[in-house]
Structure 1
Amino acid sequence: MYAFYAHCDPLTTERITKQDQLIPLFIVDLVGNVPGMSGLLVSCAFSASLSSVSSGMNALAAIAAEDFIKPNFKDIDDKKLTIITKFFSAGCGLFGIVLAFIASVMGDILNSTLLLMGIVSGPVLGVFTLGVFFPWSTSKGVLTGLFVGSICGIGYAVGIQRNPSPTFEPPLFIDGCSVGDVTTINPYTSYMNELNMTSMEHIVQPTDAPFIAGEVSGYNFYSLSYLTSVLWLGLFAWSLVWRSVS
């Protein structure tokens, strides 16, 4: 996508408003001339997402039925329990739709999602592994570890948001856009068609200064990429759960 849009940046030309829209735009620009192909690719991406969401909704409904409905309504029959579970699953779906509308105005939703997963997954994994390896752990100790791990994870995630890592983006231009229009033209395709093969040697020579990703000294304690926050933030919270219990 960078090679395709390097000389006609969609953000600069305001074809899109945030980077999350790059993939759908790229699909439309790449195969939009083939009837039905762009819709097929976008529907495949949505189908993959919806399959995970639907299983999560069913899991939430099953957990609610086992942990809340059955213990409090012991005489309930299976038919009523099934109906209640279906209503609860539908309610979770409606709640997810509302959250989707809220997420559309939150900016970079991928960043927030991965940070949230890192906050939640670490303490939960800590409690799970604690029960596997130390089944004699008391409920007070487990709840204390869960609370400490969650609070510290939230605090560290807030620090990441307030002290973001320095970003170094490669250069982008708009000199490849059509005059008077923002329609993207792949500059590499048109350039290679006009290029004489005798001048290829000039291109492959490493004469230009390389793109440098930045200095390590610019990082601080909170300089954790959101792409690795699920791993490191979860590991941080998991270790705090174990440390609090021990």
Structure 2
Amino acid sequence: MSASLNTLSGTFYRDLLYPVFKVKPSEPKALLIIKTLVVVFGTVSVLGVYVIKRFGNLVMIVAYCTGLTIGPVVGIFILGLLFPWATNKGAICGGLAGFLFVGWLTVANAIYKSYDHFVYPTKELRVDGCLHNFTAVPIPQVSDDSGIPYIYRITVSSTLEWE
């Protein structure tokens, strides 16, 4: 784990941070920056474990992240395709606004789901008129989600929602 964190921090520093500095930092200062990055990335990794534990399996988190990022990316693509006079600032502002709005919906939806405030309704199980002998299983009760705003009930993870 330490080798991965050190590699990630070194790569992040060398590829993303080092070119940004106008005055290049000295070796001790660069070492301090890399050590700080190790602590930050390690903290994010540990917090990620708690997020996965709280929100279910990793597949659902990937589906949420996919739904979160696809909307703004497609929006920026269509903006560039249909409006050639659009500026960089407009595309960045629109992409950030879309990302923040969908992020808000995604997080609220995940929080409501994690506390079992609502579940998606299932279809009724009926075997009337069937020629075969089936054993009917009682249908579980669907929770009352009348107190949850409709905007948080929508599926925000694109076509990757498995429920």
TM superposition score category, shorter chain reference: 0.3 to 0.5
**Greater relative contact order (CA < 8 Å, ≥ 6 in sequence):** 1
Structure number, greater radius of gyration: 1
